[in-house]
Structure 1
Amino acid sequence: MSAAQSSRARAPRLDIDTLLADRGTRIIVCCGAGGVGKTTTAAALGLRAAEQGRHVVVLTIDPARRLAQSLGLSELDNTPRPVDGIDLSTGGSLDAMMLDMKRTFDDVVLSHSTPEKAEQILANPFYQAVSSSFAGTQEYMAMEKLGQLRAEADNDGTWDLIVVDTPPSRSALDFLDAPKRLGSFLDGRFIRLLLAPAKVGGRAYLKVFNAGVHLVSSTLSKVLGGDMLRDVQTFVGALDTMFGGFRERADLTYALLKQDSTAFVVVAAPERDALREASFFVDRLEQDGMPLSGLVINRVQQVSAPGLSASRARAAAEQRAEEGDDLTAGLLQLHATVTETADRQHHLAGRFTAGHASTPVIEVPALAQDVHDVEGLREVGAALAGR
């Protein structure tokens, strides 16, 4: 056994079924780099928990809409929808929804401002752009929606478990950093200068504003046009009364993530970059005192004949080819390639566990086909539970 495999063998095992059965766990956050299977993992966890008797809502922030396909739904939107075709004999239930970033932002505006102010904000062209595509808005609105779902669950008991599929960001840390980045944006010098009309007024305002942002505004006017700059100023002025609310709710949701009722499940593929990202995230969770349950390594290559090494398989393939048995030679070559891939993945996984010896790990084998229905999610759920 290699050193990497030995380190991996010593890693504690992530017990998914115990996690799902713990009624004290109210939120599970699936996080990791993009393209590692967070959406499928979140859906599979939600399905398995529901079929074990939990009342679950799965929130996805994946624009590819793969969760809807996997759950057999024609569409997902900002409203939780029941999932059909699951085993309800244990008394559980499963709802699913996909974050509508703009609608969530609209709801925040409508809930935390007067009707007149809300109408002014919603009609502002700059707001319409910000609410749909501003960097970090998706992650922040995921936080907003999570807070709303938890409040709803606490009020009427609709769900006892919320499973969150975090945004497919370039960096897994974006989800945790979104509230801080939003606060920095709202407290930034340029924003404060744009707020000067409301805070200073008259000639004093003109003096402050012209001295402070003349260069910036003239540059933006050339690039964006004067109308856009005025839209920005109008938007910021209208939103001023809500800035404190944004920060307060972000802080509350961030505190919610640190409670014992929350469990983070980091998801990675058995590739160098994905595991490096997972390592950063695990370190960050530990640094911030957040509850980490463990690591899921997705799509791990399995070897059907582990006793036959890649080198021996290639040697045998060459011999078979010389004898004219091309079919057997091809199969042996395929086995050698698969074995080399599995060895490389095991080595990378071993490097992670060597650096995070106390982090529980579960490996999910690579499936022969994509998951596109409830039955496929059951298979993934069983693999997550080590069945």
Structure 2
Amino acid sequence: MPGRSPATAPAAVDVDALLADPGTRIVVCCGSGGVGKTTTAAALGVRAAEAGRKVVVLTIDPARRLAQSLGLTELDNTPRPVVDVGADGGSLDAMMLDMKRTFDEVVLAHSTPEKAAQVLENPFYQAVSSSFAGTQEYMAMEKLGQLRAEADRDGTWDLVVVDTPPSRSALDFLDAPKRLGSFLDGRFIRLLMAPAKAGGRAYLKVFSVGANIAAATLSKVLGGQFLTDVQTFVAALDTMFGGFRERADVTYALLKEPSTAFVVVAAPERDALREATYFVERLEAEGMPLAGVVVNRMQTLAAPGLSGSRASAAAEQLEDRADDADTTAPGPALTPALLRLHASLAEAATRHEGHVKRFVAAHPGVAVSTVPAAATDVHDLEGLRAVGAALATG
């Protein structure tokens, strides 16, 4: 798998080799918020499709930029083909995770129609499926598993590119199986499940006095109907979603296979690279295959020979001369402004380069690629192709 190199000469991420390798089946883009993960994932999808791969891009970021840049009016839980992308049999589909719809699909797929209707109409389920903490990560694991299973079964896709949520929650899906198990096995859940498991009068015999007191207290605090809704949902969760934990474990195992590649996306700033360090260390600790780090929006200069300090000094001299000249003419005012803009960009370029060098020194075995800052936001396929080309050249 591309991505490793000697400590003395860190290599760029070999994006084209990674995407062209038929052994690469899943690419996961992760990183903190606002660093360009969505754009990177879309650019990788476009470049892979135009290299002949059958690609589906799954975004978990609620932003709509991916749909816009791919020329789609919207993205939802159904993969939609992206037109004018693909070569040599390659194709690109894109979708956005709808966690409630994915949860609904799990209910429908793993229960009888009567039980499904009961669960889907349950008020507590409706709240949990749309806003409960961790649901997004659970459903991301579920959807990724579904896509990979469909790819293996029907050959619909041979590469899944995953965009992830911002900040450290981008890796929360790695903990989804463990957290789901803790949720299902927790004391509060066991307490709520006891009446449903015991059933009817047996509940009075099986449930202890302490549990009765606890249930009565919960009923007062939460309300009798709400507690009933919760108990109904939890009982369904226990009987219907027993396989979800196993499926999440299977997906988690997929993420550790050599057919998966993680790409950590960062910006050339101290905080973003600190977060990238967290991702790199966490992935290595989990034994996840790291392809490398992509640093987006590196500032570059058209005139690198003119330093920021020299540009600032020249601007100051011109402004001093202009004090005794005709300041109504546009030229004398425009030139110092351009020089000061260059000085600001030069300072940013120097700062970016310094941050990246320190990151590389701290992670000598990790491949690092940089992508120059674009003059405008990426909002169409041509922009994504340009980002893909920059990723390939590193």
The TM-score with structure 2 as length reference comes to 0.91
2:371 is equivalent to residue 364 of structure 1: yes
The higher radius of gyration belongs to: 2
- The 1-side partners of 2:8 and 2:309 are apart by 24
Cα deviations across residues 317-367 of structure 1 (Å, max 9, x unaligned)? 111111223322111111111111122222222222121111101111111
- The 2-side partners of 1:315 and 1:271 are apart by 26
2:50 is equivalent to residue 51 of structure 1: yes
2:29 is equivalent to residue 22 of structure 1: no
User: Which residues of 2 match residues 204-353 of structure 1 at below 5 A?
Assistant: 205-206=203-204, 208=207, 211-212=210-211, 214-215=213-214, 218=217, 221-222=220-221, 224-324=222-322, 325-353=332-360
2:40 is equivalent to residue 41 of structure 1: yes
Partner residue, 1:3? none
Say what the alpha-carbon RMSD is for the aligned residues: 2.1
TM-superposed CA distance for 1:257, in Å, is 0.5
What residue identity is the alignment partner of 2:317? Q
- The 2-side partners of 1:162 and 1:194 are apart by 39
Query: Percent identity between the aligned chains?
Result: 73
Partner residue, 1:107? 105
Cα deviations across residues 199-252 of structure 1 (Å, max 9, x unaligned)? 334566347366237457636743x43322221111101221134212101100
Partner residue, 1:157? 155
Are the aligned partners of 2:8 and 2:364 in contact in 1 as well (CA < 8 Å)? no
SS at match of 2:233: helix
Partner residue, 2:4? none
- The 2-side partners of 1:30 and 1:216 are apart by 44
Are the aligned partners of 2:54 and 2:156 in contact in 1 as well (CA < 8 Å)? yes
Equivalent residues, number? 379
- The 2-side partners of 1:305 and 1:70 are apart by 31
The answer for unaligned runs of 5 or more in structure 1 is 1-7
Comparing 31-40 with 213-222, greater Cα deviation is found at 213-222
TM-superposed CA distance for 1:260, in Å, is 0.7
2:51 is equivalent to residue 82 of structure 1: no
Q: 1:213 to 1:366 in 2, by over 3 A?
A: farther
User: Which residues of 2 match residues 68-217 of structure 1 at below 5 A?
Assistant: 68-86=67-85, 88-202=86-200, 205-206=203-204, 208=207, 211-212=210-211, 214-215=213-214
Are the aligned partners of 1:70 and 1:372 in contact in 2 as well (CA < 8 Å)? yes
TM-superposed CA distance for 1:139, in Å, is 1.2
- The 1-side partners of 2:246 and 2:192 are apart by 22
TM-superposed CA distance for 1:256, in Å, is 0.5
The TM-score with structure 1 as length reference comes to 0.92
Q: 1:151 to 1:217 in 2, by over 3 A?
A: farther
The answer for unaligned runs of 5 or more in structure 2 is 1-6, 323-331
Cα deviations across residues 119-177 of structure 1 (Å, max 9, x unaligned)? 21111111011111111111111111111111111111111111111123553322322
- The 1-side partners of 2:339 and 2:81 are apart by 47
- The 2-side partners of 1:234 and 1:286 are apart by 41
Are the aligned partners of 1:14 and 1:362 in contact in 2 as well (CA < 8 Å)? yes
- The 1-side partners of 2:33 and 2:49 are apart by 26
- The 2-side partners of 1:213 and 1:256 are apart by 43
What residue identity is the alignment partner of 1:82? P
